[in-house]
């Protein structure tokens, strides 16, 4: 009989404090009793309404939700078991996730089932907002989400392994690049389960399977990186004459770094686009000087983005205009190759 009496007390207190029709959750004691911290995540906020009730109500809702999310961020930051997933791939340090410095965007992701209620007090001209989410619902979501992401990674890895056997390295790398972002989602889900379900059980969190899959992805990427394929698109003019001087010289330079070249763009790891023109400069005694102007774009087909672009002007000289232009094009090819090597090593 004690519990109903206590509940009645809080309801009566809330009515006296906030007036007839005001929601019970306006009272902090009622919120703590009705939405205990071991069952719910909660957030509370209020704002003075000076102009638009609609705008201030919306902002109060966002403030309450941000207050709830702040609790999640603090719990994740205090989790001493956070770790980094990082690996050196192709000479670049790629960090898949860092949890020591969580951002609000990471912590606010997928707060499943969060509900928000509002109330406007005519007398005080204050609008209140209360946000809450059931921990059990969140735990169920992250357990299912963790399994789903692990299964998806396994699928990408299996497909990549099959493609590698069939010598389709470019497609295999594409599968692994698709798998990589999922590791950060897996780790975030594991962290959420740690703080929400108060568990560090490695089997429950699928930690061994995660580590095994991550190791497999890293090793496969390292193997595939040993045979990089490049597709070259070249538009070169030597004083109006179509040539492939720069493209051929760049290929020769990069071949020494283990690169191969393909005529099929779909099989390539990278696409190199070259546009080269020549222009005369000046003369000195029997020497003719001219420039090769090159525009370069190096596109990563797996990441689907340009990783390097530049414009280079290289001067060359010889005893004729054509020879000087050819010399400038050969020299600019060497510069281009040097610039590209760091992206393929």
Write phi, then psi, for 132 (nearest 5 degrees): -150, 150
Residue 247 Cα distances to 63, 191, 236, 264, 296, angstroms: 57, 49, 9, 16, 11
pLDDT tens figures, 86-108:
333 333 334 343 333 333 344 44
Please, are residues 308 and 218 in contact by the beta-carbon 8 Å criterion?
no
Pairwise CA distance, residues 339 & 161, whole Å: 31
Mean pLDDT calculated for residue range 229-244: 94
| Contacts with 323 (C-beta within 8 Å, 6 or more apart), sequence order | 288
**pLDDT value of position 276:** 97
**pLDDT value of position 345:** 58
**pLDDT value of position 144:** 93
Pairwise CA distance, residues 176 & 188, whole Å: 20
Please, are residues 333 and 245 in contact by the beta-carbon 8 Å criterion?
yes
pLDDT tens figures, 256-303:
877 888 898 888 889 999 999 999 988 888 899 999 999 999 998 878
Pairwise CA distance, residues 44 & 34, whole Å: 14
Count of CB atoms situated within 10 Å of the CB of 203: 9
Q: Evaluate if pTM is beyond 0.75.
A: no
Span of 122-126, 133-137, 193-197 with lowest mean pLDDT: 193-197
- Name the range with the highest mean pLDDT among 151-155, 177-181, 227-231: 151-155
pLDDT tens figures, 16-73:
444 457 899 999 999 999 999 889 999 999 999 988 899 999 999 999 988 888 877 7
């Amino acid at each position: 009989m004690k519990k109903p009496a206590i509940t009645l007390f809080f309801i009566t207190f809330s009515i006296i404090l906030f007036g007839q029709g005001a929601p019970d959750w306006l009272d902090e004691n009622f919120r703590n009793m009705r939405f205990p911290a071991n069952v719910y995540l909660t957030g509370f906020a209020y704002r003075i309404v000076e102009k638009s009730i609609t705008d201030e109500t919306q902002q109060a809702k966002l403030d309450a939700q941000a207050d709830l999310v702040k609790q999640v961020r603090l719990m994740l930051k205090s989790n001493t078991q956070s770790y980094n997933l990082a690996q050196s791939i192709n000479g670049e340090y790629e960090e898949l996730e860092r949890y020591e410095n969580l951002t609000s965007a990471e912590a606010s992701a997928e707060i499943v089932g969060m509900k928000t209620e509002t109330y406007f007090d005519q007398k005080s001209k204050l609008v209140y907002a209360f946000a809450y989410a059931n921990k059990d619902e969140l735990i169920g979501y992250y357990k299912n989400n963790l399994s789903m992401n692990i299964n998806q990674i396994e699928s990408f890895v299996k497909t990549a392994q099959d493609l590698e056997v069939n010598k389709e390295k470019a497609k295999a790398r594409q599968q692994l690049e698709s798998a990589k972002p999922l590791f950060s989602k897996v780790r975030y889900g594991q962290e959420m389960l740690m703080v929400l379900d108060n568990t560090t059980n490695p089997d429950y969190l699928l930690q061994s399977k995660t580590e095994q899959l991550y190791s497999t992805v890293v090793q496969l990427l390292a193997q595939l990186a040993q045979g990089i394929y490049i597709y070259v698109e070249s538009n070169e003019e030597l004083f109006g004459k179509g040539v492939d001087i720069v493209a051929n010289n760049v290929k020769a330079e990069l071949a020494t770094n283990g690169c191969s070249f393909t005529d099929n763009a779909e099989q390539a790891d990278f696409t190199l686009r070259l546009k080269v023109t020549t222009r005369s400069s000046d003369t000195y005694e029997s020497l003719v000087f001219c420039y090769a102007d090159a525009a370069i774009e190096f596109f990563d087909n797996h990441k689907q983005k340009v990783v390097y672009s530049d414009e280079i002007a290289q001067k060359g000289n010889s005893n004729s205009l054509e020879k000087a232009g050819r010399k400038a094009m050969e020299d600019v090819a060497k510069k281009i190759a040097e610039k590209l090597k760091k992206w393929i090593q």
